Structure 1
Amino acid sequence: MGGGVSSLSKVCVVGFSARDDADVDYTFAAIGVKKPEVDFSSNCGNMISAIGPFAVNAGLVKKEDGPCTVRIHNTNTGKIIHSKFPVEENEAKVGGSFAIDGVVGTGAKIELAFIDPAGSKTGKTLPTGNVVDTFDDIRVTCIDVGNPCVFVRASSLGVEGGILADAIDAHPDLLPRLDSIRRQAAVAMGISQTLESVPGSIPKVAMVAAPYTHELISGETVEETSCDLLVRAISVGQPHRAVPITVAMALAVASRLEGAVVREVTSSSPVDADGVTIGHNSGKLLVGANFDNSGAVKDVTVFRTARRIMEGTVYAD
């Protein structure tokens, strides 16, 4: 809530689900920061971290103490997410030893398995039918896993892959160039009919680069050998201080696609055999992508934490 940045201006509406394969329905709304708008066109992977624990704590789902799984139906995309976390004294456990870069402290581990995440909005893993497209003379990969995303090499735009969020904001023309590419990609992906009607939240656009030793927002140094690739994501027109989970999901899949611009900058020697380790503004994130025998994306798994920080009442006309 608030904060003047897109990653903190979000609403999740959660209720009972009538589906046999889900316990709760979850609708995500991105709240405009620079524009007075509410955008329901996308999902938010980071916010899904809180949905399972909220459902248990709010009494929407009854679970015994111990490990539990809450099946979440995201109404924005029609996709199913399995949220696994511990329950203690009839509430989601908060304390734990699991840490996430960019988040202060530690907490109980939440495993999120996004089931059949490809084609969330377009119905296709590669909405344009191509592994590589060209917009504004820049090579990009358009992919729809978790959310529709457009990936471009940072070097194609004349910037370093480890550029920090404030430097992206201060750059004279980087954000407008990225938005131009994003809007053209949206039309090519079938998300919008015109450049003017492209929603603010999708497709996501992000710059990727091969890893190298550089500083994070915190001032700490991340070593070249600690991650498999770098990403700098834009969310609703603003540089993300970490990486949206849905962007990370799409990256994990794109890193395995021969010819994709993401594959071109991904290390051939993974840091962790369980997936791709993504370097972002605030640290690293491990994402695992699993494929079936036909090569289709079976599921994508990430690990997060979540905790309740306040309760209140919202009045709306």
Structure 2
Amino acid sequence: MTSKTSQMKVPATYMRGGTSKGVFFKLNDLPEKAQQAGKNRDAFLLRVVGSPDPYSKHIDGMGGATSSTSKVVILSQSTHKDHDVDYLFGQISIDRALVDWSGNCGNLSAAVGPFAIQAGLVPSDRIPQNGTASVRVWQANINKTIVVHVPIRDGEVQEMGDFELDGVTFPAAEIPVDFISPADGTGHMFPTGNVTDDLVVPEVGTFHATFINAGIPTIFLQADALGYLGTELQEDINTDQIALDRLEKIRAYGALKMGLISNAAEAEIHQHTPKIAFVSKPKSYRASNGKDISEGDVDLLVRAVSMGKLHHAMMGTAAVAIASAACIPGTIVNIAAGGGERNSITFGHPSGVLKVGAIASRSDTGWIVEKAIMSRSARIIMEGWVRVPSDIFE
């Protein structure tokens, strides 16, 4: 039987930001039923990406069948004072009908500035002929300010350049990104009140951990406590379902201890947060592109899991958490990096190395991270319209 359903045609831009890719929309370009949060918006975005896909390939959508490439962004002119745009991020599950709105994507944050300029959401008098346009972004998922410093040449966004980012094949223009006051909005950067805690996971074990709400809620563990070296690449872990299930169970009980969920089963519908990462002291290893990373090149090693799989590089928000934790003495991350107070670190990840910084200070209530800083790059890959069957709405 032939369906008479037609397809709707929606303006969209496909962009790389850092080591992620996503489909970008202006809010007022979305179908009317998808301009409000809810089931219709989620149904539209799921169909754009091609989820849920029991084959985990995203053949019939714009997704790339990985956590790094199953993302959507919605931008609008800001409703917040002294901000240019409001930025809403959705992490799309690959095999489930689920859009997780619980956190930000730090990598795609770098692409928000260029997209906002290209889309006409930043006043033209704010764009220099040559220099840098600083786009102030309100991150609507976590109610935080991000400042994206976009290079401008001849009045246009400069995309090409010689900045190399491990995990991205080709060089591009450098885009510094500032994450302002990245800790949880309530001020509880360490939700338990401690820089380290013991995490008891039934039938798995007890782990020394740092729980932090900065960039994105993250659970940091010691690599050796999990039986790892910290030099692992994706195939070392992602082909081991028993290991993945164990990490997911640890993540669920970590989320419970952080107060993010009321019972461990709820972690299933909050796949995007918290993240779980394991760290080790510096070691030499060969990155996924064949590049040799020397022990002397890095301060520590970090491996992170996103949406149930070891990430091929490092999530941008997790990099903010790493920078924040590293600058505070006594955390698992700080100890792995050699201890003491510091304002920047270079860490090794499966695709290479990344330098991140943070400015932290003590207050009467404990440590405060004023700003986390890292450089990414971004590029428009394709722009035009995405087509979606018109019968997806209720």
State TM-score, norm by structure 2.
Answer: 0.76
**Where does residue 125 of structure 1 map in the other structure?**
189
1:23 counterpart = 2:88: no
1:304 counterpart = 2:376: yes
Q: 2:160 is matched with which residue: 95, 98, 107?
A: 95
CA gap of 1:172–1:37, structure 2 versus 1, over 3 A, is closer
Tell me, in whole angstroms, the C-alpha distance in 2 between the residues paired with 1:254 and 1:269.
12
Asked whether the 8 Å contact 1:14–1:26 carries over to 2, the reply is: yes
Q: 1:108 is matched with which residue: 159, 166, 173?
A: 173
Cα distance per residue 1:7-43 (max 9 Å; x no partner): 1100000110021121000000000013221110110
Aligned residues: 314
1:155 counterpart = 2:188: no
- Counterpart amino acid of residue 9 in structure 1: S
**Where does residue 75 of structure 1 map in the other structure?**
140
Asked whether the 8 Å contact 2:329–2:339 carries over to 1, the reply is: no
Deviation at 1:269, TM superposition (A): 9.6
Tell me, in whole angstroms, the C-alpha distance in 1 between the residues paired with 2:200 and 2:299.
26
SS at match of 1:51: helix
1:55 counterpart = 2:55: no
Tell me, in whole angstroms, the C-alpha distance in 1 between the residues paired with 2:72 and 2:200.
33
Asked whether the 8 Å contact 1:248–1:278 carries over to 2, the reply is: no
SS at match of 1:298: strand
- Counterpart amino acid of residue 368 in structure 2: A
Tell me, in whole angstroms, the C-alpha distance in 2 between the residues paired with 1:166 and 1:224.
22
Deviation at 1:189, TM superposition (A): 1.1
Asked whether the 8 Å contact 1:53–1:91 carries over to 2, the reply is: no
Tell me, in whole angstroms, the C-alpha distance in 2 between the residues paired with 1:269 and 1:182.
28
Tell me, in whole angstroms, the C-alpha distance in 2 between the residues paired with 1:27 and 1:165.
29
Tell me, in whole angstroms, the C-alpha distance in 2 between the residues paired with 1:214 and 1:94.
31
Larger Rg: 2
SS at match of 1:197: helix
- Counterpart amino acid of residue 359 in structure 2: N
Structure 2, unpaired ranges of 5+: 1-61
Deviation at 1:185, TM superposition (A): 1.3
Structure possessing the higher relative contact order (Cα contacts under 8 Å, 6 or more residues apart): 2
**Where does residue 219 of structure 1 map in the other structure?**
290
Tell me, in whole angstroms, the C-alpha distance in 1 between the residues paired with 2:332 and 2:371.
22
**Where does residue 262 of structure 2 map in the other structure?**
193
Asked whether the 8 Å contact 2:182–2:215 carries over to 1, the reply is: yes
Matches within 5 A, 1:129-140: 129-133=193-197, 134-136=199-201, 137-140=206-209
Matches within 5 A, 1:169-188: 169-188=238-257
Deviation at 1:172, TM superposition (A): 4.9
1:233 counterpart = 2:304: yes
Asked whether the 8 Å contact 1:12–1:26 carries over to 2, the reply is: yes
Tell me, in whole angstroms, the C-alpha distance in 2 between the residues paired with 1:296 and 1:172.
38
Asked whether the 8 Å contact 2:230–2:301 carries over to 1, the reply is: yes
RMSD: 1.8
State TM-score, norm by structure 1.
Answer: 0.94
Tell me, in whole angstroms, the C-alpha distance in 1 between the residues paired with 2:100 and 2:155.
34
SS at match of 2:260: coil
SS at match of 1:286: strand
Percentage identity across aligned positions?
39
CA gap of 1:179–1:58, structure 2 versus 1, over 3 A, is same
Deviation at 1:91, TM superposition (A): 2.5
Tell me, in whole angstroms, the C-alpha distance in 2 between the residues paired with 1:234 and 1:247.
10
Cα distance per residue 1:260-310 (max 9 Å; x no partner): 22122113599xx86110110101111110024534110000001101000
